[in-house]
Amino acid sequence: MAKPTAGPEIERLIALLARLPGLGHRSARKAALTLLKRRTDLLEPLAAALAEAASRIVACENCGNLDSLSPCTICRDAERDASLIIVVEEIGDLWALERAGVVKGRYHVLGGHLSPLDGIGPGELNIGRLIERAVPPVEEILLALNATVEGQATAHYITDQLRGRDLKITRLAQGVPIGGELDYLDEGTLAAAIKSRRML
């Protein structure tokens, strides 16, 4: 712990900023200074945006997304394909897929992955509501989970829970990322890419 050097209000601000991912104590100090120097165009708007987020943003009762509405804007969007639910671990994954803009289904955010050693079982994840949602008109459940041991274990668990229903359960393809150089890829990715090789 660094010795306090500024007043208690500034030290408290630095300590809170340092708890954000990507900011250590040193960069939190820089961020605090920037905020204090740019009071009207940064500090005050950020304080207001945080207060508004705290009071208005809620988790969607349907899919677990964060929005100022529940059900969220995506769940309410009539243009979305109602037959497809894309299951993701975290809201950041939902944002990544929306940025890519390649699929227009609805989502289901689990809030993490199964991790028995950390005490994360099915009850800790938003799985029960997914099972409820997996009924017509839903035809496909795309498990867009991380290609990690935990992500894949979670995918298996969900597949088991949905067994016997008239549903297509799919997962993301695995292989060489676009722009990827073979020399820098791990063996697991290369093995997946070779196993799922396609005819030209």
Q: CB neighbours (10 Å) of residue 107? A: 26
User: Measuring CA to CA, how many Å separate 114 from each of 33, 49, 50, 85, 97?
Assistant: 40, 33, 31, 19, 21
- Give yes or no for residue 104 binding a second copy (CB under 8 A): no
CB of 147 to a second copy, least distance (A): 19
CB of 69 to a second copy, least distance (A): 8
- Give yes or no for residue 196 binding a second copy (CB under 8 A): no
- Give yes or no for residue 123 binding a second copy (CB under 8 A): no
Question: Cβ(161)–Cβ(131) under 8 Å?
Answer: yes
- Give yes or no for residue 33 binding a second copy (CB under 8 A): yes
User: Measuring CA to CA, how many Å separate 5 from each of 14, 17, 38, 159, 198?
Assistant: 11, 16, 21, 55, 61
- Give yes or no for residue 102 binding a second copy (CB under 8 A): no
Nearer to a second copy, 67 or 150 (CB): 67
CB of 80 to a second copy, least distance (A): 14
3-state helix, strand, coil in the chain (%, to 5): 45, 10, 40
- Give yes or no for residue 113 binding a second copy (CB under 8 A): no
Q: Which two tokens stand for residue 69?
A: 């509405």
Stretch that binds a second copy, among 61-69, 125-133, 151-159, 166-174 (CB under 8 A): 61-69
Beta bridge partner(s), residue 86:
107, 142
Nearer to a second copy, 45 or 188 (CB): 45
Nearer to a second copy, 21 or 164 (CB): 21
